[in-house]
């Protein structure tokens, strides 16, 4: 893919932070985050990966707080980057879309972390954050639908992933409205982001090689979408059943 260079930059960043975290683990032990402990890991994205991510962004969080960058500024930045990823993927720039989606997802982490250490969290901020999450996720999947406009099966798969993402979010919101603890389940927001971003990045990185083997160059992207669609919709149904059982008759 012509934009694979974006992925090379991302890989360098991952390798450097992984090496630094490895040193940290050897010298001081595993980094633990209260936020990660609250969210919890699953079979799809383990808690160790989440601890590593939150540890890696902690210096950025402190720097942003020192510069008086507000959580809402970061949320809006994540929104712009997320919509940019949707536009990029619509035009087939999977490497750029991967980079923009990654930074948009990191912005979603940073705004909450900055709000915590500066004690500036608010209900309005949480509302904005939740709305931006939905819009950016829609923008990315809508971009894929545009890119796949010549293939009905690929578009249907993308729409199934979109349905899963919104139904999981809906079940969580509905559970809270009904004063029921939302079941943890699978394919939550950060897990969907990981699978879609990996699918995008691998398509940019090895799509041409896959195409030379007679398979669609977007096979990694389709695999990511398939995981979100199948696991996500199943998880949403399971959540609805559990919420229903938890409600008084």
Percent of the chain residues topping a pLDDT of 90: 68
Q: Sign of the C-alpha dihedral, residues 15, 225, 126, 186? A: negative
Amino acid 2: pLDDT = 62
Residue 18 lies in a domain: no
CATH number at residue 102: 1.20.120.1760
Q: Tens of pLDDT along 165-182?
A: 999 999 988 998 888 888
Helices (H) and strands (E) in the chain, counts: 9, 0
Residue 190 lies in a domain: yes
How many other C-beta atoms can be found within 10 angstroms of the C-beta atom of residue 46?
Answer: 11
Whether the pLDDT of residue 121 is over 60: the answer is: yes
Whether the pLDDT of residue 248 is over 80: the answer is: yes
Q: Tens of pLDDT along 16-74?
A: 999 999 999 998 888 888 778 777 777 788 888 888 899 999 999 999 999 999 999 99
Residue 79 lies in a domain: yes
Domain with 240, as residue range(s), is 5-13+23-246
The residue-averaged pLDDT of 212-218 equals 94
Residue 205 lies in a domain: yes
Distances (CA, A) of 248 to 69, 117, 202, 242: 45, 39, 47, 12
Contacts of the segment 206-211: beta carbons below 8 A, 24+ positions apart? 207/1, 207/94, 208/1
Whether the pLDDT of residue 224 is over 70: the answer is: yes
Per the structure, how many domains does the chain have? Answer: 1
The residue-averaged pLDDT of 94-112 equals 93
Amino acid 226: pLDDT = 97
Whether the pLDDT of residue 185 is over 80: the answer is: yes
């Amino acid at each position: 893919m012509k934009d694979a260079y974006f992925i090379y930059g991302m890989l360098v960043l991952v390798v450097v932070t992984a090496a630094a975290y490895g040193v940290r683990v050897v010298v001081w032990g595993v980094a633990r985050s209260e936020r990660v402990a609250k969210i919890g890991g699953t079979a799809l994205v383990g808690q160790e990966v989440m601890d590593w991510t939150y540890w890696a962004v902690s210096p950025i969080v402190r720097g942003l707080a020192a510069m008086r960058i507000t959580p809402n500024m970061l949320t809006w930045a994540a929104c712009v980057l997320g919509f940019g990823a949707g536009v990029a993927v619509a035009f087939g720039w999977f490497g750029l879309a991967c980079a923009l989606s990654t930074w948009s997802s990191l912005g979603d982490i940073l705004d909450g972390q900055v709000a915590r250490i500066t004690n500036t969290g608010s209900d309005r901020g949480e509302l904005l954050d939740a709305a931006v999450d939905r819009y950016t996720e829609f923008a990315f999947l809508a971009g894929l639908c545009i890119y796949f406009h010549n293939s009905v099966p690929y578009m249907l798969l993308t729409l199934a992933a979109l349905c899963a993402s919104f139904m999981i979010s809906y079940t969580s919101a509905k559970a809270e409205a009904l004063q029921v603890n939302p079941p943890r389940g699978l394919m939550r927001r950060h897990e969907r982001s990981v699978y879609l971003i990996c699918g995008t990045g691998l398509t940019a990185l090895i799509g041409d090689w896959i195409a030379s083997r007679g398979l669609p160059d977007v096979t990694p992207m389709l695999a990511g979408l398939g995981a979100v669609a199948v696991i996500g919709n199943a998880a949403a149904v399971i959540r609805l059943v559990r919420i229903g059982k938890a409600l008084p008759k």
